[in-house]
Amino acid sequence: MRVETISVGKPAVVPWDKNKVVTAIFKQPVSGKVALDRMNLVGDAQGDLKNHGGPDKAVCIYAASHYPYWEKVLNRPLSYGSFGENLTVSGLTEEDVFIGDIWRIGSATVQVSQPRQPCYKIGVRLNAANLHLQVIETGFAGFYLRVLEEGEIEAGDTVTLVERLNADYTIRELHNCLFHKNCTSDEWTRLANIPELAEPWRKAFRKKISN
């Protein structure tokens, strides 16, 4: 696994559907070593702190292998970072990654915290209304990391698995269980009790149990 590109961005006001939205999804690649703290990569921020950001969403990851699919769907070339991710990584997909996985990237230690719940701003970034619904349908959504040990990372760094704490549910399986698959109450209960899973996702699974 390897970091192909590091992308960061600051909030900006952009026009969308006869309105204006505040978003930091227009991230741009940066070169050299980039400092990573508990909340962000240096130079990165979020436009909607209610739904984005925080220690469980310090870094957004997207698989480089998904880009050819979206280039075909959108009929145009896409640069890494186009889905608002901070790190575009080769050698992995949502099917290879488990909640709680601990990785070493550069001098930082990070942990997989939750799948990404795509929002409409992906469509804003790529000028494609409702693209986030297609992302949900495919499961090519990406995921987030929390930072266990601050450090510096750069494009070209190897992503090394340090420890796998849970081998039962991949990122893709959690995504399916929330958005698609009719999971059983037992499965939702197990998911809601994974301590490494970010609380909003645990809460969503608890809600499914209660319903």
Position 179 in a domain: no
Give the model's pLDDT for residue 51.
63
By mean pLDDT, which of 35-44, 95-104, 131-140, 181-190 is the weakest?
A: 181-190
pTM: 0.93
pLDDT at 185 over 90: no
Give the model's pLDDT for residue 3.
98
Give the model's pLDDT for residue 47.
66
Give the model's pLDDT for residue 178.
85
Position 141 in a domain: yes
Position 210 in a domain: no
Give the model's pLDDT for residue 83.
95
Position 82 in a domain: yes
pLDDT mean over 83-91: 96
pLDDT at 209 over 90: no
Average model confidence (pLDDT) across the chain: 92
Position 180 in a domain: no
Q: Residue 108 corresponds to which tokens in the numbers above?
A: 């930082």
Query: Do 73 and 134 contact (CB within 8 A), yes or no?
Result: yes
pLDDT mean over 141-145: 96
Question: Could you tell me the CATH number of the domain that includes residue 119?
Answer: 2.40.33.20
Give the model's pLDDT for residue 52.
67
Position 200 in a domain: no
The region that residue 81 occupies, defined by phi over 0 for left and psi between -120 and 50 for alpha, beta otherwise, is left
Cβ burial, residue 143 (10 Å; 0-12/13-18/19+)? buried
* Domain span holding position 60: 2-166
Position 8 in a domain: yes
- CA 36 to chain CA centroid, Å, is 16
Position 26 in a domain: yes
pLDDT at 2 over 90: yes
Query: Do 155 and 31 contact (CB within 8 A), yes or no?
Result: yes
Give the model's pLDDT for residue 49.
60
> Number of folded domains in the chain?
1
